[in-house]
Amino acid sequence: MPEGPSLFILKEETACFVGQGIVEAGGNTTAIDTSRLVGQTILSLRTWGKHFLIELPDMALRIHFLLFGTYRVNERRDKPPRLFLRTADGDELNFYACSVREIDRNLDSQYDWSADVMSPTWNPARARKKLRAEPDMLACDALLNQDIFSGVGNIIKNEVLFRIRVHPASKIGALPAPKLRALVEEAHKYSFEFLEWKKQYVLKQHWLAHAKTTCPRCQIPYKKAHLGRSNRRSFFCERCQKRYE
DNA sequence: TGGAATGTTGGAAC
DNA sequence: CGTTCCAACATTCC
């Protein structure tokens, strides 16, 4: 579920909830008092990267799906939801195994929307500026940094680095300017390809690097290692992906 | 079937 | 006090 494009799909699927009043709410979350949601109108449903934001008159909720979170719209799983909302029209939104938090209602003061690779206000120049300020950061960590590439997850990270032929342990400060530019451009471009493939249920078959064993370009075995401060799985080709350091 | 994984947080340890 | 490390959370798949 988790990466930014998947949240984008969730937002599309729940657009009909905006403007509706909540007539019933509950779930096994202990983070919020769900009875406070009853009677509130859903003012907006937004996303910032992997955050799903529910804006209400009295509060704002932040849903984070972490690694295993799921949701159902007008359907239920065979498990108790962490949070559910029902509207007067009979629409129902169920969230499972996710983190629920009440956050400050002023979303604009907390979120840099231009950092979200899925946002219409995504700002590549600003991302490059943030990257230039972190020359010692590794490319694999930079892509997972939500302040720079909000919404990018481990799949997108591996696919982007393979496509731009950059080794995950490359130092940001060592990247030639065109490579830095390519990194930022591809993070945005691939996220939208991910979105389309995910909608068509063909995402996995388009993976070129993530969870793969052989480089499709030169046919040698991929290296697999947990790299960087993030210590997440990296799949990379030592022949095709240059290490800048 | 035990281990690993599309992720983040909070607190302990240093 | 800042930085780093690690457990915890929770689900599914191989």
Model pLDDT, residue A2: 86
Distance A199 CA to C13 C1' (A): 21
From the centroid of its chain, how far is CA A180? Answer: 21
Model pLDDT, residue A207: 96
pLDDT tens string A72-100: 999 999 999 999 999 999 999 999 999 99
Q: Does residue A96 reach within 7 angstroms of strand C, measured from its CB? A: yes
Q: Does residue A97 reach within 7 angstroms of strand C, measured from its CB? A: yes
pLDDT tens string A185-241: 999 999 999 999 999 999 999 999 999 999 999 999 999 999 999 999 999 999 999
Q: CA dist A121 to A59, A170, A220, Å? A: 24, 28, 39
pLDDT tens string A40-76: 999 999 999 999 999 999 999 999 999 999 999 999 9
Give the nucleotide with minimal C1' distance to the Cα of A230.
B7
Contact A74, A11 (CB under 8 A): no
Is it the case that residue A154 has pLDDT exceeding 90? yes
> Cα separation of A204 and A209, whole Å?
10
Contact A151, A111 (CB under 8 A): no
> Which of A114, A113, A118, A112 shows the shortest CA–CA distance to A193?
A118
Give the nucleotide with minimal C1' distance to the Cα of A98.
C10
Contact A132, A125 (CB under 8 A): no
Distance A63 CA to B9 C1' (A): 14
> Cα separation of A30 and A27, whole Å?
9
Model pLDDT, residue A1: 72
> Cα separation of A31 and A10, whole Å?
22
Model pLDDT, residue A134: 92
Distance A226 CA to C5 C1' (A): 15
Average pLDDT over residues A108-134: 96
Model pLDDT, residue A26: 96
**In which residue are the tokens 């068509």 written?**
A200
Distance A178 CA to C8 C1' (A): 41
> Which of A147, A139, A81 shows the shortest CA–CA distance to A114?
A147
With vertex at residue A230, the alpha carbon angle to CA A225 and CA A234, rounded to the nearest 5 degrees, is: 25
Q: Does residue A202 reach within 7 angstroms of strand B, measured from its CB? A: no
Distance A84 CA to B10 C1' (A): 26
> What is the H or E stretch that residue A52 is in?
strand A51-55
Share of chain A above pLDDT 70, in %: 100
Give the nucleotide with minimal C1' distance to the Cα of A78.
C11
pTM of the model: 0.96
Q: Does residue A66 reach within 7 angstroms of strand C, measured from its CB? A: yes
pLDDT tens string A133-150: 999 999 999 999 999 999
> Cα separation of A43 and A46, whole Å?
10
Model pLDDT, residue A19: 97
Chain-wide mean pLDDT for chain A?
Answer: 96
Strand B nucleotides, any atom under 7 Å to a protein CB: 4-9
Contact A143, A131 (CB under 8 A): no
